[in-house]
């Protein structure tokens, strides 16, 4: 059974020391507040993390859906204990909600991130850029899935718009009702490959999963007519084995993702903006009117949209804020950088006002 869930020779090698301790391998298929549902070679069983494990791990290291774990299955007891988490190949991480902040692992050990958005009034390119950045940072392959193609009057236009900001990620338009595009999606889900299903409420994730599974496995609700959105119906994270042999990790709807150490992911999504910035005359150019600014030239020429630049700057500001929160030295360096920038800007404005013929 573990082979069906992605068990490999590399994982077997990682498990050697745990096997010597008498533990057995398993994969978390359901994560709920009170514990886990774990699949083993003997079938599924309930489990919880040992107190020792919880004390030794940070929040983002604790077991989550998709993790491979080392279990103690005591004879005569129905509840197994998780004693260790095997090294993760990939991790989909976001900033935890609430005032405490910190990192939250949404999915572990996934090969492909299916970023689901609906071809309706709720389609939001800026939100997709955020998902793409987090997906690229995780190490998983992003695939954008645009649902409800049967309800859209224009499909080619939105697909082209999304493709322009997807940095090479596949963009698929599908209809769970008519079956349009499902074969193309299935090509990304061969046997043993794990995908995470991500998207905001009402994007059609549960309906899509039902279509792939071939039955109404996940509950769905009607879309509210007033704003084209829906209420998310998945209340826990669950790893589902499809009839085709692929695996999908369904997650509760997330309308906003707080970035967490996603510098490389943001760079991957906005490689066009960063390539322009690399051609600016000054390395610390703020793209606000400095001479020799390649970004401003691209804006003036219509080669870069103001919305895309604003989205890039917003995500960069979020990353900088998180870095400053984590590292006091980074905060000090940031203050020095802005002082230097302000001095350079004032000097340039003074020179501009003076004119080329003045002393």
Task: Indicate if the pLDDT at residue 232 is higher than 80.
Answer: no
E-assigned strand segments in 101-184: 103-108, 112-118, 141-147, 171-173
Average pLDDT of 112-135?
87
pLDDT tier at 221, thresholds 50, 70, 90: very low
pLDDT tier at 290, thresholds 50, 70, 90: confident
pLDDT tier at 137, thresholds 50, 70, 90: confident
Average pLDDT of 132-141?
90
The whole-angstrom separation of Cα 263 and Cα 316 is: 8
pLDDT at residue number 227: 45
pTM here is 0.75
Residue 153 burial class via C-beta count within 10 angstroms: exposed 0-12, middle 13-18, buried 19 and up: exposed
Q: Strands 43-49, 112-118: parallel, antiparallel or unpaired by DSSP?
A: unpaired
pLDDT tier at 258, thresholds 50, 70, 90: low
Reduced to 3 states (helix: H, G, I; strand: E, B; else coil), residue 171 is strand
Which CATH number is associated with domain 2-85? Answer: 2.40.50.140
Average pLDDT of 164-193?
93
Task: Indicate if the pLDDT at residue 343 is higher than 60.
Answer: no
Which CATH number is associated with domain 270-354? Answer: 1.10.40.50
Which CATH number is associated with domain 91-250? Answer: 3.40.50.300
Task: Indicate if the pLDDT at residue 338 is higher than 50.
Answer: no
Evaluate whether 2-85 and 91-250 have a shared fold: no
Domain ranges of the chain: 2-85, 91-250, 270-354
Q: Which residue has the higher pLDDT, 220 or 36?
A: 36
Q: Which residue has the higher pLDDT, 96 or 289?
A: 289
Residues β-bridged to residue 285: none
Task: Indicate if the pLDDT at residue 337 is higher than 80.
Answer: no
Average pLDDT of 134-144?
91
Task: Indicate if the pLDDT at residue 224 is higher than 80.
Answer: no
pLDDT at residue number 222: 44
pLDDT tier at 226, thresholds 50, 70, 90: very low
């Amino acid at each position: 059974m573990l082979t069906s869930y992605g068990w490999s020779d590399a994982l077997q090698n990682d498990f050697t020391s745990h096997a010597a301790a008498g533990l057995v391998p398993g994969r978390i298929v359901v994560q709920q507040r009170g514990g886990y549902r774990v699949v083993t070679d003997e079938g599924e069983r309930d489990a919880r993390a040992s107190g020792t494990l919880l004390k030794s791990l940070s929040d983002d290291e604790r077991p989550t859906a998709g993790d491979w774990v080392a279990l103690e299955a005591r004879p005569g007891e129905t509840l197994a204990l998780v004693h260790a988490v095997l090294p993760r190949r990939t991790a989909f991480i976001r900033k935890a909600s609430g005032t405490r902040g910190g990192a939250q692992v949404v999915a572990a050990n996934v090969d492909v991130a299916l970023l689901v958005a609906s071809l309706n009034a709720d389609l939001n390119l800026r939100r997709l850029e955020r998902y793409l950045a987090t997906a690229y940072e995780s190490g998983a392959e992003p695939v954008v899935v645009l649902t409800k193609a049967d309800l859209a009057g224009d499909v080619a236009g939105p697909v082209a718009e999304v493709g322009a900001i997807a940095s090479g990620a596949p963009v698929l338009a599908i209809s769970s009702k008519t079956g349009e595009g499902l074969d193309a999606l299935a090509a990304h889900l061969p046997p043993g490959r794990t995908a995470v299903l991500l998207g905001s409420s009402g994007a059609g994730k549960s309906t899509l999963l039902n279509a792939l599974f071939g039955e109404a496995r996940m509950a769905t609700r009607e879309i509210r007519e007033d704003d084209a959105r829906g209420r998310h119906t998945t209340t826990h994270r669950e790893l589902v084995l499809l009839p085709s042999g692929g695996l999908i990790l369904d997650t509760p709807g997330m309308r906003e993702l707080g970035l967490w150490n996603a510098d490389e992911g943001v760079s991957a999504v906005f490689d066009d903006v960063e390539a322009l910035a690399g051609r600016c005359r000054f390395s610390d150019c703020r793209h606000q009117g400095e001479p020799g600014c390649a970004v401003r030239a691209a804006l003036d020429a219509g080669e870069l949209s103001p919305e895309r630049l604003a989205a890039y700057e917003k995500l960069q500001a979020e990353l900088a804020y998180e870095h400053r929160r984590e590292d006091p030295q980074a905060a000090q360096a940031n203050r020095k950088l802005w002082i230097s920038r302000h001095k350079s800007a004032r000097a340039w404005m003074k020179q501009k006002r003076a004119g080329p013929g003045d002393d």
